[in-house]
Amino acid sequence: QLVESGGGSVHPGGSLRLSCRASGITLAYYALAWFRQAPGKEREGVACMSESGNTIEYGGSVQGRFTISRDSAKNTFYLQMENVKPSDTALYYCATEGPILSPLVDVCPDEFGFWGRGTQVTVSS
């Protein structure tokens, strides 16, 4: 089970940190990702971290502003959002895929099998 938290309302230029706590799986063996979906738009990949942590990918619109990270001790991963914009307003989902076996430990998967229920982020002045 994946449970997101940390969403809310924030002003443009502000920061927010989303958390995704896992239960029943050990995140250290999984690839991790954040997706988002704004009203009337398709779901968009925001960030991905491979199982090894050696590969991290970001969507073009968040590159340089968002950071994905993992705390294996807490079995939780995060999305740190900086300098947010109104266009970042969306329902944010965390997702995982695994357990990942060699030689795919450095790959961000095309599909993710485990999903959270989402947390809303609203950026407005």
Q: Give the pLDDT confidence of 29-86 residue by residue, as tens digits.
A: 999 999 999 999 999 999 999 999 999 999 999 999 999 999 999 999 999 999 999 9
Q: What is the pLDDT of residue 100?
A: 86
Could you give the CA distance from residue 41 to residue 51 in angstroms, rounded to a whole number? 29
Q: What is the pLDDT of residue 92?
A: 98
Burial of residue 65, with CB atoms counted within 10 A of its CB: 0-12 exposed, 13-18 middle, 19 or more buried: middle
- Cis preceding linkage at 103, omega within 30: yes
Residue 101 binned pLDDT confidence (cut-offs 50, 70, 90): confident
Residue 103 has pLDDT above 90, yes or no: no
Those residues with Cβ within 8 angstroms of residue 56's Cβ, 6 or more apart along the chain or in another chain? 47, 48, 49, 50, 68
